Structure 1
């Protein structure tokens, strides 16, 4: 029943290849089902389910926690001329901070 590959055209060979690949996929699925059935039978004979032995349980949905509200950063610098003006040291420097540095005040002197 061997086909004569040398006498076949390219088109015929490609069709044969496609048919062989399909048959191999079907055979593999059939063998997997048979193996699974045999494994389930063996597990059942010992009083277990296959899922218990392999740990194949449906994964639990993992819920992502919502991020809580952001807390305000603690001020790090204070304007020596106006104690109500503070800066955390993050982001752009406020104008009062730039002016104080320009006038000769060191950042260390403005730390809270």
Structure 2
């Protein structure tokens, strides 16, 4: 730096360093974007292979039916309220021995 300062070329040297850094940064960004595209393509191809495998094994059939008919599968039906006034059932002594430590 002292050498460039004495020869009055320090400004040119600094600007050349800045330009070099900007250029290398832009190259890194391009490489990073290219790598990201490659990864996305790889992920998409893997997903396609998994879908084909799932279809071959019969896993996708039910899901596709749900996607094709969303109104039928997502329709809520009213249930029945249970009448719990009459409870039936019993516990044997053998059942109680299992849980005697509680």
Question: TM class by shorter-chain length?
Answer: 0.3 to 0.5
Q: Give TM-score scaled by structure 1 length.
A: 0.36
Larger radius of gyration: 1
TM-score, length basis structure 2: 0.40
* Relative contact order higher in (CA < 8 Å, ≥ 6 apart): 1
